Structure 1
Amino acid sequence: MINFIKKKIALIWAKKHVKATAKFKNNAVEDQHQLLLSLVKTAEKTLFGRERNFEEIKTIQDYQTHVQIADYEELKPYIEKVKKGQRNILWTETPEYFAKTSGTTSGSKYIPISKEGMPYQLAAAQSAIFHYISQKNNSDFVAGKMIFLQGSPELEEINGIKTGRLSGIVAHHIPNYLQKNRLPSEKTNLIDDWETKVDEIVKETERQNMTLISGIPPWLIMYFEKLIERNGKKITELFPNLQLVITGGVNFEPYREKMNELLGKPVDTIQTFPASEGFFAFQDDYTKEGLLLLTNHGIFYEFVPLDTYGKPDAQRLTLKDVELHKDYALILTTNSGLWAYSIGDVVRFISKDPYRIVVSGRTKHFTSAFGEHVIAFEVEEAMKATVEKFPAQITEFHLAPQVNPAEGLPYHEWFIEFEKEPADMEAFRINLDEEMRRRNTYYDDLIAGNILKPLVIGKLKKNAFHEYAKSEGKLGGQNKIPRLANDRKIGDFLEKLKS
């Protein structure tokens, strides 16, 4: 009886919520305009606002004139002041949290989350679920057990500001009505070692009525494989009432085939687009491609055509100016004090009524097929340190992920053309992997957690990169081959040129 009432209430809430969201879907352009002016007005007396004469800003064009696009390094001096306890710097109040992330040239990033910003992170996740319930006209899963694979909720403090990974922060805000259904236990969630943690999660959940499972795709795959190994059953055999899988963090498509294989039969899937900087979009129709852009959640969006991104005269477009099926660098202004912030993601609109996007890439070459956010600086420094130690000489190299190997765990493959090979190639490989783990904490977590195996070296014959450049019509001093990729387009070509 209790479960019947719970499902009925969830369905009523969902229908009511989706009906209420029609307004923001229809008024996105005007809402965005008013939001920006409100954010600017609120922050007029902050250090950042005073330096840029916020009191003079009356239009979007004024804002774009006064506030230039910035990345983390450019906002870092202000964030350092906040970390030291100074107030009224980027936003009127001290942040409630710092979401600590990896991936810059100077170590970890500390992304402020204000008291105003935190509720939107939670509301977006809730909205995604409500849209699914309303469309499906079925809320059966709320009566079962739900699991959210996430980082440790243990937080440290920096001058009174609680600091940790976003997933750990969010864990402290799960509504009470979900707590009884939520797994794993707090004791298991606090385990630092990821492989140990997943083993305990498997033990806690394998006999439960799991109906909703959420997490980053590679983490889900690891969890599913361990369940199958222990029980000898596909996931939908083990959890016959499993109704919904929610993913985020990385593009789900490369994992879809593997996921379906482990599940045993199709399960409804919702893709989301959360980040430490905000929760931007979710799949409001689970049967169709595209994520609904959240235009009334405390974030003002600008879009720079990717082919002009980084140029002094690059246009900064708002929603009313974007075109379908064109790539844009995503720029954010948030109610947590990020101003014209370039997050590094590239999006493409596939609908303008309402505004729906797909995440089409990154503004810079990168490798993040498993959520590791490896950047060029990290791989170049790791290679430099390893080459100097052995010694060896490198002509060129390229890193590509192998998401679906023929056997074993996924891995990073480094295609290397040596001018002078190291005397001990295996020792060179091990050292290179260790150098990468030191520089990127997410990569280290993935290796330590047995989600990835240590890197593999693909040794190339002489002039391999020359042949690739020639094949692409990119011979010449100004044409650089990307050191990093998030796919195997270059890697598949180089595969044919191994020595």
Structure 2
Amino acid sequence: MGFKSALSKVFAAFVNRELNKVRKNAVSFQQKAFTDLVHVAKDTSFGKDHQFEKINNYEDFKRLVPVHDYEDLRPYIDRVVNGEEDVLWPGKPAYLAKTSGTTSGVKYIPISKESMPEHIKAARNALLSYIHETGNSDFVDGKLIFLQGSPILAEKHGISTGRLSGIVAHHVPAYLQKNRLPSYETNCIEDWEQKVDAIVDETFNEDMRLISGIPPWCQMYFDRLSAKAGGKKIKDIFPNFKLYVYGGVNYEPYRARIEESIGFKIDSIETYPASEGFIAFQDSQKEKGLLLLVDSGIFYEFIPSEEYFNENPTRINIKDVELNKNYALIMNTSAGLWGYSIGDTVKFISKDPYRIIVTGRIKHYISAFGEHVIGEEVEHALMSVAKEEDIDVVEFTVAPQVNPSAGQLPYHEWFIEFGTAPDNLQAFAIKVDKALQNKNIYYFDLIEGNILQPLVIQSLQKDAFINYMRAEGKLGGQNKVPRLSNDRKTAEGLKSFIK
């Protein structure tokens, strides 16, 4: 055991004691976050416009501060981007995280000097929680890789601007810098495929022990490593590789293929970072779900997902949430986002401590016929049958077909790239459809009532999703294909890849 490894265990024990205080007092930590946020921002433009000086409790806040999406907040954010101070949060933000939205085009999310350290602390504590629980700390003595966006930052009116992962790259702790790969030069390569090839060359003979990144892009990295090594498994290329860290998408549809590439069932840590704030991380290998970070400068609110599009939806804080109920996540942050709908849906699976699972996107659903099918349901339906049938699914997405051929009922159209395809695609589709009916009563009723016909699967060519993302200019980084959409934009783009 190296010096860093030994020291990390001591630090992990200390951090775990601090986390235990938070776990046991989540409601009071959230109340403090609420009070502090409102007090600090009362003299900002937003605070004055929304009478923060009159806010004494959460009921006042709900009355005076509506739920916003990016477009609602855009007049304020545009002022921030143009260099104005004291708009949403005191002073100017330290950074603007550049993201892409489906309706808003390029979005700029403010990151303040108060919120930036919380991103780093959360990522650190995720690793330390793993070390404390398992005793496995050897990975800190080897090389670590973070597949991320370019760290090159632009500037807008004196504010550094770039992708979140590129911004975070400038804040990697000094004690990890010597262990960290790829090099700065490689990380700056904009073309994703060139970048992956450069990372393969740079890491091939290194002692890689921790690898982090979004599953589909890590899979591309593993595939190219294996090809360079003449078909070897990753465990034979990196014999000390012991920990995989991921976030951004549900890992389960990718797990089997990634573990097949690696050659064994690897320990993994799920994280839930966003430009708006680091929301949760997996703090246990034994318990399901992600620990909600209630002491990180974020005050959370929740709207039952079925009420989200209502004129006056129910809006609650952490003390009133129910287990196993789907909520739209609303954030108020120490970077000046207020009543901000991040677009994600979550479900609490524990309140002692507060642990969540991410169930999908509030706008990524299918309800063309009133079925309101969500990401969690389609993923469960497909992967449960695939596991039972020993079918390898590389990637998939689902869209409604509301204008079928003459004489046909409408249906859900599934576009699936298989690693190992079913012998009988029609029989496989029937099983997946039954599984989805079992998860969603509205979908069941529509099938039973002959409003919809059972789902149709389109089997796609090898690398269909990679080629589609390349054609869209969205290959790599934090980009991902939506699991399901209420429109056919993605579906139409994939039609040319049908076998």
TM range (shorter): 0.7 to 0.9
Shift of 1:287: 3.3
Q: Is the 8 A contact 2:280 2:291 kept in 1?
A: yes
In structure 2, what is the equivalent of residue 410 of structure 1?
none
- 1:483 aligned to which of 480, 487, 493: 487
Q: Is the 8 A contact 1:87 1:93 kept in 2?
A: yes
Please list the CA deviations of residues 75-129 of structure 1 after superposition, one character each: whole Å capped at 9, or x if unmatched: 0110101111111110112011011001142311100000000000000000000
CA shift in 2, pair 1:74/1:91, >3 Å: same
Q: SS at the partner of 1:265? A: coil
Shift of 1:313: 2.2
Shift of 1:238: 1.0
Unaligned runs of 5+ in 1: 381-394, 408-432, 456-480, 489-493
Shift of 1:399: 7.0
Q: SS at the partner of 1:329? A: strand
Q: How does 1:119-138 map to 2 (within 5 A)?
A: 119-138=117-136
In structure 2, what is the equivalent of residue 338 of structure 1?
337
Shift of 1:365: 2.4
Residues in 2 aligned to 1:51 and 1:107: alpha-carbon distance in whole angstroms: 26
Q: SS at the partner of 2:287? A: coil
Please list the CA deviations of residues 149-184 of structure 1 after superposition, one character each: whole Å capped at 9, or x if unmatched: 001000101101111100000000001100000001
Q: SS at the partner of 2:2? A: helix
Q: How does 1:251-262 map to 2 (within 5 A)?
A: 251-262=250-261
Task: Return the letter of the residue paired with 2:486.
Answer: P
In structure 2, what is the equivalent of residue 273 of structure 1?
272
Task: Return the letter of the residue paired with 2:173.
Answer: P
Q: SS at the partner of 2:155? A: strand
When the two structures are superposed, what TM-score results if normalisation uses the length of structure 1? 0.77
In structure 1, what is the equivalent of residue 34 of structure 2?
36
Q: Is the 8 A contact 2:327 2:345 kept in 1?
A: yes
Between stretches 102-111 and 359-368, larger displacement belongs to 359-368
Q: SS at the partner of 2:346? A: strand
- Residue 101 of structure 1 pairs with residue 105 of structure 2: no
Q: How does 1:178-193 map to 2 (within 5 A)?
A: 178-193=176-191
CA shift in 2, pair 1:324/1:443, >3 Å: farther
Task: Return the letter of the residue paired with 1:444.
Answer: G
CA shift in 2, pair 1:6/1:276, >3 Å: same
Q: SS at the partner of 1:445? A: coil
Q: SS at the partner of 2:47? A: helix
Task: Return the letter of the residue paired with 1:284.
Answer: D
Unaligned runs of 5+ in 2: 367-374, 380-392, 402-408, 422-464
Please list the CA deviations of residues 4-60 of structure 1 after superposition, one character each: whole Å capped at 9, or x if unmatched: 221110110011111111111111101111211111111111111101110000001
Between stretches 97-106 and 191-200, larger displacement belongs to 97-106
- Residue 318 of structure 1 pairs with residue 317 of structure 2: yes
- 1:445 aligned to which of 470, 474, 483: 474
Task: Return the letter of the residue paired with 1:482.
Answer: N
Shift of 1:375: 13
- Residue 67 of structure 1 pairs with residue 86 of structure 2: no
In structure 2, what is the equivalent of residue 219 of structure 1?
217
Please list the CA deviations of residues 270-321 of structure 1 after superposition, one character each: whole Å capped at 9, or x if unmatched: 1111110011001101233200000000100001011111212211111111
- Residue 402 of structure 1 pairs with residue 406 of structure 2: no
Please list the CA deviations of residues 392-425 of structure 1 after superposition, one character each: whole Å capped at 9, or x if unmatched: xxx9997755354548xxxxxxxxxxxxxxxxxx
Q: SS at the partner of 1:242? A: coil
In structure 2, what is the equivalent of residue 110 of structure 1?
108
CA shift in 2, pair 1:401/1:318, >3 Å: farther
Q: Is the 8 A contact 2:398 2:412 kept in 1?
A: no
Shift of 1:211: 0.5
Q: SS at the partner of 2:109? A: strand
Residues in 2 aligned to 1:375 and 1:257: alpha-carbon distance in whole angstroms: 21
CA shift in 2, pair 1:452/1:270, >3 Å: closer
Residues in 2 aligned to 1:404 and 1:177: alpha-carbon distance in whole angstroms: 42
Q: Is the 8 A contact 1:306 1:363 kept in 2?
A: yes
Residues in 1 aligned to 2:83 and 2:245: alpha-carbon distance in whole angstroms: 37
In structure 1, what is the equivalent of residue 352 of structure 2?
353
CA shift in 2, pair 1:401/1:48, >3 Å: farther
In structure 2, what is the equivalent of residue 469 of structure 1?
none
In structure 2, what is the equivalent of residue 468 of structure 1?
none
Shift of 1:264: 0.6
Residues in 2 aligned to 1:74 and 1:375: alpha-carbon distance in whole angstroms: 29
Q: SS at the partner of 1:201? A: helix
In structure 2, what is the equivalent of residue 234 of structure 1?
233
Task: Return the letter of the residue paired with 1:32.
Answer: Q
In structure 2, what is the equivalent of residue 263 of structure 1?
262
CA shift in 2, pair 1:207/1:406, >3 Å: same
Please list the CA deviations of residues 119-153 of structure 1 after superposition, one character each: whole Å capped at 9, or x if unmatched: 00000000000000001112111111000000100
Residues in 1 aligned to 2:194 and 2:139: alpha-carbon distance in whole angstroms: 28
In structure 1, what is the equivalent of residue 245 of structure 2?
246
Residues in 2 aligned to 1:154 and 1:84: alpha-carbon distance in whole angstroms: 20
Residues in 2 aligned to 1:442 and 1:175: alpha-carbon distance in whole angstroms: 36
Q: SS at the partner of 1:300? A: strand
CA shift in 2, pair 1:485/1:104, >3 Å: closer
Task: Return the letter of the residue paired with 1:169.
Answer: I
- 1:48 aligned to which of 39, 46, 49: 46
CA shift in 2, pair 1:85/1:131, >3 Å: same
Shift of 1:351: 0.4
Q: Is the 8 A contact 2:323 2:347 kept in 1?
A: yes
Q: Is the 8 A contact 2:70 2:104 kept in 1?
A: no
Q: Is the 8 A contact 1:149 1:215 kept in 2?
A: yes
Task: Return the letter of the residue paired with 1:315.
Answer: T
Q: SS at the partner of 1:102? A: strand
Residues in 1 aligned to 2:28 and 2:412: alpha-carbon distance in whole angstroms: 45
Residues in 1 aligned to 2:94 and 2:143: alpha-carbon distance in whole angstroms: 30
**Aligned Cα RMSD in Å?**
3.2
In structure 1, what is the equivalent of residue 197 of structure 2?
199
Q: Is the 8 A contact 2:398 2:415 kept in 1?
A: no
Q: SS at the partner of 2:348? A: strand
Please list the CA deviations of residues 424-453 of structure 1 after superposition, one character each: whole Å capped at 9, or x if unmatched: xxxxxxxxx9xx97xxx995232x89x999
In structure 2, what is the equivalent of residue 421 of structure 1?
none
Q: Is the 8 A contact 1:31 1:296 kept in 2?
A: yes
Q: Is the 8 A contact 2:290 2:355 kept in 1?
A: yes
Q: SS at the partner of 1:202? A: helix
In structure 2, what is the equivalent of residue 391 of structure 1?
none
CA shift in 2, pair 1:442/1:111, >3 Å: farther
Task: Return the letter of the residue paired with 1:483.
Answer: D
CA shift in 2, pair 1:267/1:184, >3 Å: same
